[in-house]
Amino acid sequence: MMWDTFENRLRITGELVAVTGVRVGMSAESAMPTATDLPVIKDANGRPFIPGSSLRGAVRAHIERIVRAFETRAGNGKGASNPTNTDEWAIPPARRRQLANRDEYESAVFTESCRVERVFGSPWLASRVRFTDLPLLTDGAEPELRDSVAIDREKESVANKYDFEAMPAGVRFKLEIVAENLDDHELGLLLLGIRELQRGNIRIGGFKGRGLGVVQLENMRYEWVDRTSLLEYLMKDKVQSVDEAWINAKLQALFDSMTQGG
């Protein structure tokens, strides 16, 4: 299922809660002259937020690791490309140039892309999952200023001191994810990432090695629309609810696909 015809849409909303401090930074060059050495990213109104791209990248990387545990080779709807090695891409650069000369370029690219690329996209394949930016929900929350040092490993001494900002534990951010035209095992791939977020197994932002970036999803809501319910949605804004059994069925479809070659 691609984009030509509406097939289905899954909208996921919830709250991303910082279990520890969370730091998603911006460059010091982009910050105000009086800012800390390493500020957190803020919107046009000066409010800290988490870019959707940051969360999406963390979820995707986590999913890729799990997929590779089941499918070691990437391509033709299986496995996960290695972004650091072109030889381990589902469609290496030379192969993509060959496909560019074919009449059915988009179809050929989709066919040869890996399992994760088909859902989350690649440089030549549009993603079917959108992560919106996550605005801060906690009133009055401000970044904490923390001191740190850089170590000279050869001299085994302090190279320099600096400070950085991090959002404190307990703050909440508003989450929204929209996925369109995914089949059952593709939905399972996305829902696998969501479940891992709920369990606190995916860290985001910087300084994760220092214990920052632990988050959990709470207050989740799922809204489902497919072709059978599209008219009711368009006329009455009515969506179908999703329960745990529905989610588990999609996850089972994913695991069946990876373990049985389906």
In tens, the pLDDT along 99-157 reads 888 778 888 999 999 999 999 999 889 999 999 999 999 998 999 887 654 554 565 54
This model's pTM is above 0.75: yes
- Report which residue type is found at 15: E
CA neighbor of 214 nearest in space, from 178, 179, 170 = 170
* CA–CA distance, 75 with 82 (Å, rounded to integer): 11
Report, as an integer, the average pLDDT of 21-33.
70
* CA–CA distance, 259 with 255 (Å, rounded to integer): 6
* CA–CA distance, 228 with 152 (Å, rounded to integer): 63
Please name the residue that has the structure tokens 């394949």.
125
Beta bridge partners of 130: 178
Judge whether 124 and 91 are in contact, CB under 8 Å. yes
- What mean pLDDT value characterizes the chain? 89
